[in-house]
Amino acid sequence: MPPALVDSHCHLDFPTFEGELDDVVARALAAGVTRMVSIATTLGAEPRVRAIAEAHAPVLYACGLHPLHVHEEPVPTLEALEAIARHPKMVGIGETGLDYHYSAQTAAVQQESLRLHCEAARRTGLPLIIHSRDADEDMARILTEERAAGAFACVMHCFSSSAKLAEEMLALGFCLSMSGIATFPKSQELRDIFAAAPLDRILVETDSPYLAPKPKRGKRNEPAYTAMTAQVGAEVFGLTPAEFAAATSANFDRLFVKAAEWSRRNLDSEAA
């Protein structure tokens, strides 16, 4: 059997997966991806993502307002996020964050939304899931300020920013998530950033349907391909695939405590 992995970030509600989810989940399980977290990028998408999680045992979910959607939906209220967080399979706040590459004109609203999601993470005890692109300085400043205002857990999803931001996020106690980008031939600098990080702060993800790892680059990504990124991750850390899978799965359970508890309960019930 392949080593058990977690795809800590995917988008199973996107249209490219419509009508194929049973097969997508089955292929993930066959590849050793025993759990996957599907992300709702708006509160409007939450019912659809929740339904996927309810229909597929290996799927958990998270919800927040993606920075690229702040012009489409109002910043959610704390009460709305807290209400959604009561669902037993809702395990993270986000993704939220800053994206100045595509939407620098909405920077002020993105920052307002990010701070609100930080507070939601504090109130719910769920980890914050961060998207960051071309916004390193503001990201470091805001997360440092918010972390000083009260503790919360956090993962920098699909990390592909600078070594400086990685160091700053690790200093705050946050995690970095490795995506298919780390497998690309021109990503040696990124692989070096991960290699310099503590192993116990590393997660792995697909961000599917985007960013398929080598050798699937250019094709639709899916959770099963987590194993390809994990293979490269194992090489980066000088580990066997089984050792890297065990480490990143343990890291996921420490960060996503509610997901770990849900998994344990269900494993116990299956064993009984």
Tokens of 180: 């298919």
Q: In the structure, what pLDDT confidence band is assigned to residue 271 with cuts at 50, 70 and 90?
A: very low
User: Does residue 238 contact residue 215 with C-beta atoms inside 8 Å?
Assistant: no
Count: domains in the chain: 1
Phi, psi of 72 (to 5 degrees): -100, -30
270 pLDDT more than 80: no
The two three-digit tokens of residue 230, written as one number: 């994990």
Say if residues 10 and 208 touch (Cβ distance below 8 Å): yes
Q: Which residue has the tokens 């995690």?
A: 175
Query: Is there a contact between 176 and 166 (Cβ–Cβ < 8 Å)?
Result: yes
Q: Domain range holding 118?
A: 5-271
Q: What percent of the chain has pLDDT over 90?
A: 95
Where does the pLDDT of residue 2 fall: very low under 50, low under 70, confident under 90, or very high at 90 and above?
Answer: confident
Is the pLDDT reported for residue 30 higher than 90? yes
Examine the pLDDT at 53 and tell me if it is beyond 90: yes
Here the CATH number for the domain that contains residue 163 is: 3.20.20.140
Nearest to 62 by CA among 52, 71, 70, 77: 52
d(CA 199, CA 244): 9
User: Looking at residue 219, what is its pLDDT?
Assistant: 96
Give the residues across from 33 on adjacent strands. 5
pLDDT score, position 267: 62
pLDDT at 148: 98
Exposure of 270 in the CB half-sphere (CA atoms within 13 A): 7
Q: What is the mean pLDDT of the chain?
A: 96
Helices (H), 58-125: 78-84, 100-103, 107-124
Contact 249, 11 (CB under 8 A): no
**Residue 135 predicted with pLDDT over 70:** yes
Q: What pLDDT does 272 receive?
A: 42
Integer-rounded Cα Rg, in Å, for the chain is 17
For β-strands 202-204 and 5-10, DSSP reports them as: unpaired
**Alpha-carbon span 139 to 58, nearest angstrom:** 32
Closest CA to 109 of 79, 138, 148: 138
On the question of pLDDT at 3 being above 90, the answer is no
Please name the residue that has the structure tokens 């080593």. Answer: 3
Cα–Cα distance, 267 to 261 (Å, whole number):
10
pLDDT, tens digit (0-9, with 9 covering 90-100), for 145-170: 999 999 999 999 999 999 999 999 99
Q: What is the DSSP letter of 67?
A: G
pLDDT at 269 over 80: no
Three-state DSSP class for residue 125: coil
